[in-house]
Amino acid sequence: MLAIDLSRETQKFLRRLPVKHAQQIARKIYALAEDPFPSDSAQLRGHNEYRRADMGEYRIVYRIFSETIFITLVGKRNDDDVYRRMRRLVR
């Protein structure tokens, strides 16, 4: 199992969610730590080291480095805001 590292922005986002949704996302993050390349994940275009996975109506953007999975962003799945925030972070 990979170690999990949540970005400050991800931690803030999860605290604002209803408990049920935060728990679902947390379960998905633990599943990603077990298997970082599930069938429902895909590599982000233009950002080769980043991947994304879906959990219900949320999208989880992450990368793997050494023995750690870094959860960079979590956001609404059908909202381009996740990718706008991603572009700002990568600059």
In tens, the pLDDT along 20-56 reads 999 999 999 999 999 999 998 999 888 888 999 998 8
> Which domains are assigned to the chain?
3-90 (3.30.2310.20)
Q: In whole angstroms, what is the distance from residue 41 CA to residue 13 CA?
A: 21
Using the predicted structure, report yes or no on whether residue 91 has a pLDDT greater than 90.
no
DSSP string, 18-55: -HHHHHHHHHHHHHHHH-SS-TTEEEETTEEEEEEEEE
Confidence band (pLDDT; 50, 70, 90) for 82? confident
d(CA 25, CA 48): 23
Question: pTM of the predicted model, to two decimals?
Answer: 0.87
CA angle 62, 90, 18 (to 5 degrees): 45
Q: Is it the case that residue 78 has pLDDT exceeding 90?
A: no
Q: Report the alpha-carbon distance of residue 17 to residue 91 in Å, rounded.
A: 27
Task: Return the pLDDT at 88.
Answer: 79
